[in-house]
Amino acid sequence: MKPRDSALRAKRFEASEKARKVASLEAMIRDFETMISDLSRQITAEEERTGIKDPAHFAYSTFSKAAAQRRGNLAASVADLKMKLDIARRDHEDAASELTKLEPAEERDRLIRKGDPRAMAG
């Protein structure tokens, strides 16, 4: 295997790995946002059930307090994941652009080895 082939293979792997990371972060964000929505509905239902909507009230539901805290933690996690997602997208775009720079040259070299006249046209 030529060094150029291994470099191209490494770039392809890097680009696909970064694409998987982006997809994973997007899925985590969607899951967390769904959990936040579910917790909000549960808090509202509990407040309706108890008739106490003020978290500062002495008889406010401990379930609602705990769910609200969990919702806040998830919201903070979503904000952090969105920052990581922006970075991961930029990294993926960079890796993809580097790969596209290498692949046309690789294709041209392959055509030259085969003696294809299309290689001379580019």
Domain boundaries, the chain: 3-115
Residue 38 clears pLDDT 60, i.e. is over it: yes
Phi, psi of 57, deg, nearest 5: -65, 140
Q: Contact, 110 vs 50, CB < 8 A?
A: no
Report residue 43 as tokens: 């808090």
Please state, in angstroms and rounded to a whole number, the distance separating the CA atoms of residues 97 and 68.
43
Banded model confidence at residue 110, pLDDT cuts 50, 70, 90: low
| pLDDT at residue 119 in the model | 46
Q: Contact, 82 vs 33, CB < 8 A?
A: no
The one-letter amino acid at 20:
R
Q: Which residue has the higher pLDDT, 59 or 104?
A: 59
Helix (H) or strand (E) holding 3: helix 3-50
Please state, in angstroms and rounded to a whole number, the distance separating the CA atoms of residues 119 and 33.
51
Q: Which CATH class is domain 3-115?
A: mainly alpha
As a whole number, mean pLDDT of residues 70-76 equals 98
> Which residue in 77, 76, 79, 74 sits closest to 43, CA to CA?
74
Residue 108 clears pLDDT 70, i.e. is over it: no
Report residue 8 as tokens: 């191209």
